[in-house]
């Protein structure tokens, strides 16, 4: 079984053919997927999709790109969505100082407010981070203990060690299959498999040979294959261990 621990089936790109996408996901042996919210409407859709499909779970949260929109109404609606039994995490939240679509100050405020939501609801967190590992790790080190995953890891090895020291998982997706991703692959090789989650981030970051096309959960097989090669492990073993990791983090009851 495979677990796509981070995808956006709530994205408009899946509106017209979601049933086929889910059918291909099941055919590929993907037993579960976790749909991450990125703003208020997409969080609601994630929760709705999880009610409609047995193998779909949801995370709710406001992405740093949308941090400018974060307010108390949204905070209340996230809290109420988190009462839903299949909404298993807060996310994706974090810092993105690469695009800076929202002011860094606003991003930090939205991150801290949503960390408090995770703490009061006792839910794990899905973190997004671009060019902001130092400030994000500092904030998390002060807020520890936190259960969660740094999705789509692109940090360096020292930052990876700091994340692992806090007990965080690192998520790897299609980027490990890209030609210029040797640093990411080195880190995937070095970290213990017990700290590793697989993800697609669909519709983004489709793995080779589908790079540039719309990504979808079925393609997580290509990620698992590459991670198995990097770690010199059996594909079956990688699938089983990362599946267990997903259950441990997101389905702890």
- Least CB distance from residue 34 to Zn ion, whole Å? 10
Residue 16 CB-density burial (10 A; 0-12 exposed, 13-18 middle, 19+ buried):
exposed
Q: Of 206 and 231, which has the nearer Cβ to Zn ion? A: 206
Residue nearest to Zn ion (CB): 128
Q: Of 11 and 240, which has the nearer Cβ to Zn ion? A: 11
- Least CB distance from residue 232 to Zn ion, whole Å? 28
Q: Of 66 and 201, which has the nearer Cβ to Zn ion? A: 201
Contacts with Zn ion by CB under 5 A lie at 128, 201
d(CA 112, CA 138): 12
- Least CB distance from residue 208 to Zn ion, whole Å? 19
The CA-based dihedral angle spanning residues 224, 225, 228, 232, taken in that order and rounded to the nearest 10 degrees: -170
Q: Of 86 and 128, which has the nearer Cβ to Zn ion? A: 128
Residue 241 CB coordination number (10 Å): 18
- Least CB distance from residue 16 to Zn ion, whole Å? 20
d(CA 3, CA 242): 7
Longest dimension (CA), the chain: 48
């Amino acid at each position: 079984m495979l677990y796509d621990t981070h995808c956006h089936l709530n994205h408009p790109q899946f509106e017209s053919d979601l049933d086929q996408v889910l059918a291909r996901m099941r055919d590929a042996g993907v037993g579960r997927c976790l749909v991450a919210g990125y703003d208020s409407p997409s969080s609601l859709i994630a929760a709705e999709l999880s009610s409609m499909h047995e193998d779909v779970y949801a995370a709710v949260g406001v992405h740093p790109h949308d941090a400018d929109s974060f307010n108390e109404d949204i905070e209340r609606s996230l809290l109420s969505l988190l009462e839903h039994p299949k909404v298993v995490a807060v996310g994706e939240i974090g810092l993105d100082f690469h695009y800076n679509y929202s002011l860094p100050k606003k991003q930090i405020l939205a991150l801290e407010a949503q960390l408090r939501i995770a703490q009061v609801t006792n839910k794990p967190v899905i973190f997004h981070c671009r060019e902001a590992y130092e400030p994000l790790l500092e904030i998390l080190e002060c807020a520890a203990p936190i259960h969660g995953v740094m999705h789509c890891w692109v940090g360096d090895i020292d930052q990876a060690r700091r994340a692992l020291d806090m007990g965080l998982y690192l998520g790897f997706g299609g980027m490990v299959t890209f030609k210029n991703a040797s640093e990411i692959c080195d880190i995937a090789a070095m970290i213990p498999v017990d700290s590793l989650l697989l993800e697609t981030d669909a519709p983004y970051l489709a793995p080779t040979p589908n790079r540039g096309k719309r990504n979808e959960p079925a393609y997580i097989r290509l990620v698992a294959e590459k991670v198995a090669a990097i770690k010199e492990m059996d594909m079956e073993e990688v699938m089983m261990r990362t599946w267990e990791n997903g259950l441990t983090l997101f389905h702890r009851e």
